[in-house]
Structure 1
């Protein structure tokens, strides 16, 4: 079996996915505003040889539930939330190998400035940064940035395709290889014949400028993406190097993974050139009994109501309008199409009610946790890799840092003993570590066509 890849899934906020667990007496997520919280986490993850920490982000407040931000603020449902990009340099300074996947919303970002920020981070991390490309899904974000509502789902992806062409030109074409001389004797820092103004005139993005940064170790950061809708899969097939998914069973997930790899093939790329990460919640103990005791303990602090508030914004549907046992009607919204499809298309015949949704959220989210001793957890992870064809996992925090520390102490050694997890880091940039290839985009990637 190929080596399992691991990311720690986190957010620069109190609550992320397993809502309510900030109340647990051993949880320290309320310290998220302290830099030591992040540097200590980075050192822990590097001790466990995690490939990266993946920083999710949202712009806007989850205010669909009750048509108000009150429930989200009261229960810390991804608010308050700070900028994920600003903590990366500190975490990089205390580690040597840990990668950093940073979410940034291109719908509201100038490509000219976004390209500079990622180049800067790629320099400061010595090539350990990736970009999670998102287009957003919250109306509250659109209103906060001067629009009346969220841009239509397919149009957002059309905008994203144009945007990517623009940033590829900045990262790959503006400064040629060998453009930076640093010649102290002649006083010539850069060969101006090899530094080019980028002219981009697409349907959504217009720009005439040279990139502000000299080429960074990877030029283009490793590209992450999480859209599982048909349009999102097409975008991933063209652009993504790593794709994040969720799934309830290996058989159902295998179909989604196959669709993603087929989308890559349709874009004339190697289907195995995409690394697929499955989001998982793991609750592990030294024994099975200890793990289940921990699960029951976590349930006492979790907030199913907080999970429902989050789900409302993900689907764009206000479940507060429904009685507990009233059948829910799902309609098209401009929020996360893949979440609605997961509830409907992938659960055909299931009649959802608020009571059923809350029942699934015993630990504050709809994800069923993997619970057991180290051998049982390792067995489950290997099953997912074997049967669903995923390459690795996004480990979702519950009680923090306990959930990550437990995994590092108990599960990592078991995986290493089985020969399915690395015992040392590979050399090089994040892209080289993930793909055993070069630091730059591979030749079959659309972005490489822009390289001089």
Structure 2
């Protein structure tokens, strides 16, 4: 049986996300991002299209590398201003029944004890439809805003993340037994004291002593997303991630990335297929190829290549504005996103080439064509690379999602490559066809789970 394509809408609680400058298009509504109806309408639209989830990116800090200022960032609204993504979920969950929510939160600035409560609360309110995109941050502007001199070194951020996940597993999996809550009105017992355990953690980065503040949510631990592609990031993904987000440009390069993710899972003692791999992609579709190409040309007239390069500058830590148009860009080893810096090391890049690459305001693979052409290309990416699905970036909002839902989804369904109805259950059950809403047995987080018949006492783990 052919693999069915998984699909997330890729978005952010801001105006300019990936494809920059398109907020100037007369049909774009992204400046309404501050209105809750903007998000509830989007959630209903995506559920109509049977999207698996809405993946909401986030950033702490500002893009101040390009031109050594935030001038372009502010003029083009390059993820600034940006609002909190987690606060959107309650409203969107209330108007949907199946759509999942992948939420980005930077663990460097989120104390694990309080963050665990936020995750459990959202998992309760959404009836088990929440995922967490684990990020450690890469902007020195964020570090300075939070009282640090600069970001911790790249691999040390992952050391901290490993311990952060230990604390979360202890709280989410180990503090309350499944049968702790009895709601016995006659005996006046809501939760049994012998079934709720105190977490005691003493580590290098965190010291926590206390009971998890929430009773067990449907999934306990949300679905875990991650996007690191460095050697250290892949090792982290192999241990913790259930979904990994990659950026691909060619089939062969993407296949190599997918293989590395699967190998990392195997090295961690997990099933290589236990991780779903998503690639970011942009789609411009219309009823005919001619109309799609005309729409693409129209979008290009509103896009900002410079804004896209300014965004990329922050990812690499390199001020591209300091280079002449055709001057070779020399990239050293930085402390930002290593995969972005490696891209420059492997090629003879100039600012002119970067501007050409970012013509649509971003550098994702862009598919342009009629519905059958786009469907065939998406299937080709899945079959030739081992990908499981896509994070579909927006261009003109909400038009790009409407076009995909009305034109591409029916084509994929006709080919048997996209679901015709949602499965029942939590986000984890939908994504993995799992009988349980909880972490699988081969996931390290499951080892922190309190047995149903566990005695009272503190939850100790190495």
TM value normalised by structure 1 = 0.98
What is the aligned counterpart of 1:418 among 411, 415, 418?
415
Contact preservation (8 Å) 1:152, 1:334: yes
Question: Which range moves more in the overlay, 35-44 or 358-367?
Answer: 358-367
Contact preservation (8 Å) 1:360, 1:367: no
Aligned match of 1:72: 73
Following the alignment from structure 1 to structure 2, what is the Cα–Cα distance between the partners of residues 428 and 342? 40
Aligned match of 1:139: 140
What is the CA deviation profile of residues 340-366 of structure 1, one whole-angstrom value per residue up to 9, with x for unaligned ones?
12333xxx3x21000000011110012
- Specify the SS of the correspondent of 1:281: strand
Superposition pairs of residues 185-200 of structure 1, within 5 angstroms: 185-200=186-201
Contact preservation (8 Å) 2:136, 2:158: yes
Aligned match of 1:441: 439
Aligned match of 2:340: 339
Say yes or no: does 1:214 pair with 2:215. Answer: yes
Contact preservation (8 Å) 2:55, 2:102: yes
Say yes or no: does 1:127 pair with 2:128. Answer: yes
Aligned match of 1:294: 295
Following the alignment from structure 1 to structure 2, what is the Cα–Cα distance between the partners of residues 367 and 391? 17
Aligned match of 2:405: 408
Aligned match of 1:377: 374
Question: Which range moves more in the overlay, 48-57 or 317-326?
Answer: 317-326
Question: Which range moves more in the overlay, 304-313 or 365-374?
Answer: 365-374
Following the alignment from structure 2 to structure 1, what is the Cα–Cα distance between the partners of residues 206 and 375? 46
For residue 273 of structure 1, report the CA deviation from its aligned partner. 0.7
Superposition pairs of residues 52-451 of structure 1, within 5 angstroms: 52-344=53-345, 348=346, 350-437=347-434, 438-451=436-449
Following the alignment from structure 2 to structure 1, what is the Cα–Cα distance between the partners of residues 328 and 344? 13
- Specify the SS of the correspondent of 1:248: coil
What is the CA deviation profile of residues 118-165 of structure 1, one whole-angstrom value per residue up to 9, with x for unaligned ones?
000000000000000000011110011000111110000000001100
Deviation >4 Å, runs of 4+: none
Following the alignment from structure 1 to structure 2, what is the Cα–Cα distance between the partners of residues 226 and 269? 18
Contact preservation (8 Å) 1:127, 1:430: yes
For residue 368 of structure 1, report the CA deviation from its aligned partner. 3.2
Following the alignment from structure 1 to structure 2, what is the Cα–Cα distance between the partners of residues 411 and 114? 38
Following the alignment from structure 2 to structure 1, what is the Cα–Cα distance between the partners of residues 173 and 344? 40
Aligned match of 2:23: 22
Following the alignment from structure 1 to structure 2, what is the Cα–Cα distance between the partners of residues 272 and 442? 12
Following the alignment from structure 1 to structure 2, what is the Cα–Cα distance between the partners of residues 305 and 368? 18
Following the alignment from structure 1 to structure 2, what is the Cα–Cα distance between the partners of residues 386 and 343? 28
- Specify the SS of the correspondent of 1:265: helix
Alignment RMSD (CA, Å): 0.7
Q: Which runs of 5+ in 2 are unaligned?
A: 451-462
For residue 88 of structure 1, report the CA deviation from its aligned partner. 0.7
TM value normalised by structure 2 = 0.96
What is the CA deviation profile of residues 268-319 of structure 1, one whole-angstrom value per residue up to 9, with x for unaligned ones?
0000010000100000010000110000000000000100110110001111
Contact preservation (8 Å) 2:329, 2:349: yes
Following the alignment from structure 2 to structure 1, what is the Cα–Cα distance between the partners of residues 19 and 206? 37
Following the alignment from structure 2 to structure 1, what is the Cα–Cα distance between the partners of residues 218 and 159? 29
Contact preservation (8 Å) 1:42, 1:98: yes
Following the alignment from structure 1 to structure 2, what is the Cα–Cα distance between the partners of residues 7 and 17? 15
Q: How many correspondences in the alignment?
A: 448
Q: Which runs of 5+ in 1 are unaligned?
A: none
Following the alignment from structure 2 to structure 1, what is the Cα–Cα distance between the partners of residues 210 and 326? 57
